[in-house]
Amino acid sequence: MRRLLVPVLLAVLFFISTVHAQKPIKVIGPGIGAGRTLYVQNYNRTLSKDTIYILTGIYTVDSTYTLTIEPGTLVLGDSLYRFCLQFFSSYQLCMHRSQ
C-alpha cells in the first residue's frame, strides 16, 4: 500500500500543479509518508484560498490555538481514503473518499 501511495500522491500533485498552476502547494503536518504520525499545531494558523494544502498525518489543533480555513481553500489529504483534523476541544473534521 505504501509503495502505491507515493506514486499516486506525486501524480495528484502533478495534476493539481497543472490545473492550479498559479497556486503554490504547501504540505502541512508531519510530512508526506509519515502515516498516522501525530502532529500538534501549537500556534494560530490561517489557511489561505491562494494556496493548495496537503494535510499529512493526524493533524491536531491545540485547544488554546485556532485554525482558520478561508472559504474556497483547497485542502487535500495525503491518504488515498481520508484525512482528519482533530481539535483538542473535542471537535473533529474528517473527509472520507467515497467508494
List, for residues 50-96, the tens digit of each pLDDT value: 998 888 888 888 888 888 888 888 888 876 555 655 556 556 565 55
Number of domains in the chain: 1
Q: What are the cell numbers at 65?
A: 490555538
Strands (E), 1-99: 25-28, 38-41, 45-47, 52-55, 58-61, 67-69, 74-77, 82-87, 92-96
Enclosing domain of residue 77: 2-96
Specify whether the CB–CB gap between 20 and 29 falls below 8 A.
no
Specify whether the CB–CB gap between 83 and 95 falls below 8 A.
yes
How confident is the model at residue 98, as a pLDDT?
44
In which residue are the cell numbers 504540505 written?
27
The mean predicted confidence, pLDDT, of the chain is 75
